[in-house]
Amino acid sequence: MPDQTPPRGYCVPLSPEGKSSLNPTPPWHYASDCIAVEYWADPAAVAALLPPGMTLDDGSAGRAFCWFLDWQFTGEQDELTDPARYQYREAFILLDAVFEGMPVTYCPYIFVDNDAALARGWTQGFPKKIGSVFQTRSFPVPSLAAAPLAPGSRFGASVSAHGERIATARIQLEEKVDDPTTVFNRPTTIRRYFPNLVAGLQGTPAVDELTLSLVDDPAMVGMWAGSAELRIPEVEGEEIHRIAPLRVGRGYRFSFAYSVSDLRVLRNYLA
Amino acid sequence: MPDQTPPRGYCVPLSPEGKSSLNPTPPWHYASDCIAVEYWADPAAVAALLPPGMTLDDGSAGRAFCWFLDWQFTGEQDELTDPARYQYREAFILLDAVFEGMPVTYCPYIFVDNDAALARGWTQGFPKKIGSVFQTRSFPVPSLAAAPLAPGSRFGASVSAHGERIATARIQLEEKVDDPTTVFNRPTTIRRYFPNLVAGLQGTPAVDELTLSLVDDPAMVGMWAGSAELRIPEVEGEEIHRIAPLRVGRGYRFSFAYSVSDLRVLRNYLA
Amino acid sequence: MPDQTPPRGYCVPLSPEGKSSLNPTPPWHYASDCIAVEYWADPAAVAALLPPGMTLDDGSAGRAFCWFLDWQFTGEQDELTDPARYQYREAFILLDAVFEGMPVTYCPYIFVDNDAALARGWTQGFPKKIGSVFQTRSFPVPSLAAAPLAPGSRFGASVSAHGERIATARIQLEEKVDDPTTVFNRPTTIRRYFPNLVAGLQGTPAVDELTLSLVDDPAMVGMWAGSAELRIPEVEGEEIHRIAPLRVGRGYRFSFAYSVSDLRVLRNYLA
Amino acid sequence: MPDQTPPRGYCVPLSPEGKSSLNPTPPWHYASDCIAVEYWADPAAVAALLPPGMTLDDGSAGRAFCWFLDWQFTGEQDELTDPARYQYREAFILLDAVFEGMPVTYCPYIFVDNDAALARGWTQGFPKKIGSVFQTRSFPVPSLAAAPLAPGSRFGASVSAHGERIATARIQLEEKVDDPTTVFNRPTTIRRYFPNLVAGLQGTPAVDELTLSLVDDPAMVGMWAGSAELRIPEVEGEEIHRIAPLRVGRGYRFSFAYSVSDLRVLRNYLA
d(CA D84, CA A171): 30
pLDDT digits (tens, 9 = 90+) for D130-142: 999 999 999 999 9
Q: What is the pLDDT of residue C115?
A: 98
Long-range contacts of D109-114 (CB under 8 A, 24+ apart): D109/A13, D109/A20, D109/D240, D110/A13, D111/D159, D111/D161, D111/D166, D112/D88, D113/D88, D113/D89, D114/A130, D114/D85, D114/D86, D114/D87, D114/D88, D114/D89
Q: How does residue A3 score in pLDDT terms, banded at 50, 70 and 90? A: low
Q: For each of chain C's 271 residues, which pLDDT tens digit applies?
A: 445 688 999 999 999 999 999 999 999 999 999 999 999 999 999 999 999 999 999 999 899 999 999 999 999 999 999 999 999 999 999 999 999 999 999 999 999 999 999 999 999 999 999 999 999 999 999 999 999 999 999 999 999 999 999 999 999 999 999 999 999 999 999 999 999 999 999 999 999 999 999 999 999 999 999 999 999 999 988 999 999 999 999 999 999 999 999 999 999 999 9
The SS3 call for residue A58 is: helix
Q: Please list every residue in chain C whose beta carbon sits closer than 8 Å to the beta carbon of residue B48.
A: 4-5, 7, 16
Q: What is the largest CA-CA distance in chain B?
A: 70
Of D82, D154, D257, the CB nearest to C141: D257
Q: What is the pLDDT of residue B2?
A: 47
Q: Does C6 contact chain B (CB < 8 Å)?
A: yes
Q: Choose, out of C77, C90, C143, the residue to mutate when testing the contact with D (most D CBs < 10 Å).
A: C143
pLDDT digits (tens, 9 = 90+) for B57-79: 999 999 999 999 999 999 999 99
Q: How does residue D5 score in pLDDT terms, banded at 50, 70 and 90? A: confident
Q: Which domain holds residue A224?
A: 28-268
Distance from CA of A140 to the nearest CA of B (A): 7
Interface touch B145/A72, C-beta < 8 Å: yes
The SS3 call for residue C86 is: helix
d(CA D182, CA A63): 62
Of A132, A159, A164, the CB nearest to C165: A164
Interface touch D139/C30, C-beta < 8 Å: no
Does D195 have pLDDT greater than 60? Answer: yes
Task: Report the residue of chain D nearest B163, measured CA to CA.
Answer: D163
Distance from CA of C6 to the nearest CA of D (A): 31
Of D20, D122, D193, the CB nearest to A239: D20
Q: What is the pLDDT of residue B3?
A: 53
Q: Does B153 contact chain D (CB < 8 Å)?
A: no
Q: Choose, out of C76, C81, C229, the residue to mutate when testing the contact with D (most D CBs < 10 Å).
A: C81
The SS3 call for residue C46 is: helix
- Residues 49-78 of chain B with CB under 8 A from chain C are 49-52, 56
- State what percent of residues in chain B have pLDDT above 90: 97
Q: CA-CA distances (angstroms) from residue C175 to C65, C153, C183, C220? A: 19, 11, 14, 16
Does A30 have pLDDT greater than 70? Answer: yes
d(CA C162, CA B257): 24
Nearest to A195 by CA among C228, C48, D28: D28
Interface touch C136/D80, C-beta < 8 Å: yes
Task: Report the residue of chain D nearest A114, measured CA to CA.
Answer: D130
Strands (E), B16-81: 28-40, 54-55, 63-74
Neighbours of chain D (3+ CB pairs under 8 A): A, B, C
d(CA B68, CA B32): 10
d(CA C9, CA C15): 7
Interface touch B164/D163, C-beta < 8 Å: yes
d(CA D155, CA D69): 13
Of B80, B134, B142, the CB nearest to A145: B80
Distance from CA of C35 to the nearest CA of A (A): 19
| Phi, psi of D62, deg, nearest 5 | 90, -5
Q: Does B156 contact chain A (CB < 8 Å)?
A: yes
Interface touch C145/D256, C-beta < 8 Å: no
Task: Report the residue of chain C nearest B45, measured CA to CA.
Answer: C16
Q: How does residue A4 score in pLDDT terms, banded at 50, 70 and 90? A: low
CB atoms within 10 A of CB A126: 24
In a domain, residue D11? The reply is no
d(CA B88, CA B90): 7
Radius of gyration of chain D from its Cα atoms, rounded to whole angstroms: 19
Strands (E), D114-260: 128-130, 132-135, 154-161, 164-176, 188-194, 207-213, 216-231, 247-260
Does B4 have pLDDT greater than 90? Answer: no
The SS3 call for residue B251 is: strand
In a domain, residue D37? The reply is yes
pLDDT digits (tens, 9 = 90+) for A44-79: 999 999 999 999 999 999 999 999 999 999 999 999
CATH number of the domain residue D142 falls in: 2.40.400.10
Q: What is the pLDDT of residue D3?
A: 53
Nearest to D81 by CA among C35, B247, C257: C35
- Residues 88-127 of chain D with CB under 8 A from chain C are none
Q: Please list every residue in chain A whose beta carbon sits closer than 8 Å to the beta carbon of residue D124.
A: 197
In a domain, residue C231? The reply is yes
Q: How many domains does chain B have?
A: 1
Distance from CA of D115 to the nearest CA of B (A): 19
| Phi, psi of C196, deg, nearest 5 | -100, 155
Q: Choose, out of C23, C80, C171, C223, the residue to mutate when testing the contact with D (most D CBs < 10 Å).
A: C80
Distance from CA of D214 to the nearest CA of B (A): 32
Average pLDDT (B1-13) is 81
- Residues 9-48 of chain C with CB under 8 A from chain B are 10-17, 19-20, 22, 25-26, 45, 47-48
Interface touch B164/D164, C-beta < 8 Å: yes
Distance from CA of B156 to the nearest CA of A (A): 4
- Contact between B260 and B30 (Cβ < 8 Å): yes
Q: What is the pLDDT of residue A5?
A: 83
Q: Does D199 contact chain A (CB < 8 Å)?
A: yes
In a domain, residue C4? The reply is no
Task: Report the residue of chain C nearest B235, measured CA to CA.
Answer: C20
Interface touch C16/B52, C-beta < 8 Å: no
Q: Please list every residue in chain B whose beta carbon sits closer than 8 Å to the beta carbon of residue A171.
A: none
Of A236, A237, A261, the CB nearest to D199: A261
Task: Report the residue of chain B nearest A74, measured CA to CA.
Answer: B145
In a domain, residue A2? The reply is no
pLDDT digits (tens, 9 = 90+) for B173-218: 999 999 999 999 999 999 999 999 999 999 999 999 999 999 999 9
- Residues 234-253 of chain B with CB under 8 A from chain D are 235
Interface touch B1/C56, C-beta < 8 Å: yes
Does A179 have pLDDT greater than 90? Answer: yes
Neighbours of chain C (3+ CB pairs under 8 A): A, B, D
Average pLDDT over chain D reads 96
In a domain, residue C43? The reply is yes
d(CA A180, CA A34): 13
Distance from CA of A89 to the nearest CA of B (A): 12
DSSP-assigned letter for residue B6: P
The SS3 call for residue D103 is: strand
Instruction: Return the H-helix or E-strand segment holding C257.
Output: strand C247-260
- State what percent of residues in chain D have pLDDT above 70: 99
Interface touch B14/C261, C-beta < 8 Å: no
In a domain, residue A80? The reply is yes
Give the number of beta-carbon pairs within 8 Å between C and D.
148
Interface touch A33/B158, C-beta < 8 Å: no
pLDDT digits (tens, 9 = 90+) for D229-258: 999 999 988 999 999 999 999 999 999 999
Does B171 have pLDDT greater than 60? Answer: yes
Q: Please list every residue in chain A whose beta carbon sits closer than 8 Å to the beta carbon of residue B158.
A: 82-84
In a domain, residue C8? The reply is no
Q: Please list every residue in chain A whose beta carbon sits closer than 8 Å to the beta carbon of residue B146.
A: 31, 72, 257
Interface touch B49/C16, C-beta < 8 Å: yes
Worst-scoring range by mean pLDDT, B142-146, C5-9, C158-162, D214-218? Answer: C5-9
Q: How does residue B5 score in pLDDT terms, banded at 50, 70 and 90? A: confident
Tell me, rounded to whole angstroms, the distance of Cα A161 from its chain centroid: 15
d(CA C205, CA C270): 8
Query: Which residues, other chains included, contact B48 with Cβ-Cβ below 8 Å and sequence gap of 6+?
Result: B242, C4, C5, C7, C16
- Contact between B216 and B263 (Cβ < 8 Å): no
